[in-house]
Chains A and B, each alone.
Chain A
Amino acid sequence: MNTTEQSRAGVEVRMEGLRRSYGPVVALDGVDLTVKPGELVALLGPSGCGKTTTLRLLAGLEDADAGSITVGGKDITHLPASRRDMGMVFQAYSLFPHMTVRQNVAFGLRLRRIARQRRDQRAMEMLQLVDLTAQADRYPHQLSGGQQQRVALARALAIEPQVLLLDEPLSALDAKVRAQLRDQIRRIQLEVGITTLFVTHDQEEALAIADRVGVMRDGRIEQLASPTEVYSRPSTPFVAEFVGLTNRLAGTVADGTVTVRGRALPLVDPATRPGPAIALVRPEAVTLAREAGSGPLTGTVIASTFLGATSRVTVDLGDTTILAQIPTADAVAHPAGSRVTLTIRPDPVLVAQDPPA
Chain B
Amino acid sequence: MAALSPIAAERAAAAVTSVPRGARGGMRGRRRARLNLFRYVTFALFGAFFLMPLWAMVRFSLEGSRLGTWSVAAWSQIASYPGLLGAIEITLELAVLTSGVMLLLLLPTMIWVRLRVRRFTRALEFLCLLPLTIPAIVLVVGLSPIYNRIERFNVSALMLFWAYVILALPYAYRALAAGLNSIDVTTLAEAARSLGAGWGTVMARVIAPNMWQAILNALLLTVALVLGEFTIAYNLTYTNLQVALYAISRNTENAGVLFSASAASLLFAFALLMIISIVGRRRRGRA
Contacts and interface: CB of A to CB of B under 8 A. Distances in A.
Contacts of B9: 176-177, 180
Contacts of A183: 2
Contacts of B196: 82-83, 85, 108, 111-112, 159
In this complex, the member of A81, A131, A187 whose beta carbon has the largest number of chain B beta carbons within 10 angstroms is A81
Interface string A40-64: 0000000000000000000111000
Contact of A131 (B3, B192, B193, B206): B3
Interface residues of B, number: 29
A144 B191 contact: no
A98 B193 CA distance: 17
B13 interface: yes
A82 B4 contact: no
Given A94-B187, A147-B10, A107 B195 contact: yes
B150 interface: no
B6 A90 contact: no
Nearest to A94: B191
A128 B19 CA distance: 31
B33 interface: no
A152 B188 CA distance: 12
B134 interface: no
A90 B13 contact: no
A180 B6 contact: yes
Contacts of A180: 2, 5-6, 9
Interface string B186-200: 011011111111100
Contacts of B7: 131
A131 to B, nearest CB: 5
Contacts of A111: 195-197, 201
A150 B286 CA distance: 22
A108 B188 contact: no
B14 interface: yes
Nearest to B208: A98
A97 to B, nearest CB: 6
Interface in A91-116: 92-98, 107-108, 111-112
Interface string B96-136: 00000000000000000000000000000000000000000
Nearest to B199: A82
Interface in B1-34: 2-7, 9-10, 13-14
A92 B197 contact: no
B13 A144 contact: yes
A181 B6 contact: yes
A262 B201 CA distance: 69
27 contacts: A61-B190, A81-B193, A82-B196, A85-B196, A88-B190, A88-B191, A88-B194, A93-B184, A94-B188, A95-B191, A96-B206, A97-B210, A97-B287, A108-B195, A108-B196, A111-B196, A131-B3, A131-B7, A146-B10, A156-B194, A156-B195, A159-B196, A177-B10, A180-B2, A180-B6, A180-B9, A187-B3
Given A96-B192, A139-B286, A156-B194, 7 more contacts: A59-B190, A82-B198, A95-B191, A131-B4, A139-B287, A159-B195, A165-B194
Closest 5 CB pairs of A and B: A108-B195, A94-B191, A88-B194, A81-B193, A180-B6
